[in-house]
Amino acid sequence: MASGCAKAFDSNEQTQKFTNSEINYKTSASDFYQMIKAFWNDNRTHATPNFDIPVLPLTADQLNQDQSDTVFRLGHSTILVRIDQDLILFDPVFSDRASPVQWMGPKRFHQPPISIEQLPKIKAVIISHDHYDHLDKKAISALNDKVEYFITPLKVGQHLRDWGVPENKITELDWWQSTQIETLTITATPSQHFSGRGLFDKDETLWASWAIKGWESNIYFSGDSGYFNGFKEIGDRLGPFDLTFIETGAYNKLWPEIHMFPEQSLQAHIDLKGKAMMPIHNGTFDLSLHNWFEPLQRISDLAADQGVNLLTPMFGEAVKVQTPEKTTQWWLNPQD
């Protein structure tokens, strides 16, 4: 495997397990008990929004009108990027719940600004890892006929094959490996997280962040990650980045190794040599124990203090990569 990714084997050497470059994330029975206890004693006042989250509807015509490099946040970590006149879709989750089943689990606060059926042709779908809030089986199946390429970390492609995506559409990459799609160079970069969709498949697939370089724009997508030295290495090797999409949400003191607190998210952006930052992994699902709006407010305050150009668009709002305009604090209750 390429530098930066370790691979270990169990005693019978049949099941490979991927590991992080700096930590080996494990949870004990005691850790699990503390998590259950924390959720049971949850006393938040604003776990979910008490007003309708603003969503700007999108159409295929709108997406095809302007050919400049533009991004649209569709929800949680689902980002649609037009770069070099091609559409790239990150971590498409369109289901009502981020869960193995649709009758229980974290439920959406809002609907996507555009449906899969309304989307135009997509050049590539890029997946960061196989957790349910990033890899949506129903969405992948619905997207199959309108997506030219699916790009995943190692072993994640097997999920797609099982769901009917043809082998010739799938590219799997290790950390620091790249693939070329026309004018775009797409590189899998390290992150500090874990994987698995069930009780017995932990870390059998790789997790990754992504760097995409086009004619004019260079962008970075963090996927999920705890804070680690890898951000600086990515910035040194592949930066600076015009825009970084950085995980800012679902953090907690019980799992600091795998999700960043807002202070760390901002530092990751600085390490990456980013010019503008868009916080993701918030505003759509309740996945932790903070109030739903807290990640956005905390990162907004921190960015203002440190002079970082923070972009917090409404879902569906167009943001120009090279000339982003100021965005609003849409998460504030309009009745307050």
Handedness of CA 6, 154, 186, 80 (dihedral sign): negative
**195, 204 Cβ separation under 8 angstroms:** yes
Residue-range domain boundaries for the chain: 54-320
Q: What is the DSSP letter of 13?
A: S
Other Cβ atoms less than 10 A from the Cβ of 315: the count is 25
pLDDT, residue 29, reads 62
Q: What is the mean pLDDT of each run of 10 residues along the chain (336 residues)?
A: 41 69 78 68 88 97 91 98 98 96 94 98 98 98 98 98 98 98 98 94 97 98 98 98 98 94 98 98 96 98 98 98 97 83
Class of domain 54-320: alpha beta
Cα–Cα distance list, 150 to 95, 276, 279 (Å): 19, 27, 24
pTM to 2 decimal places: 0.94
Identify the DSSP state of 313.
P
Alpha-carbon distances, residue 111 vs 48, 93, 206, 241, 272 (angstroms): 14, 11, 29, 30, 31
Q: What is the DSSP string of 258-270?
A: TS--HHHHHHHHH
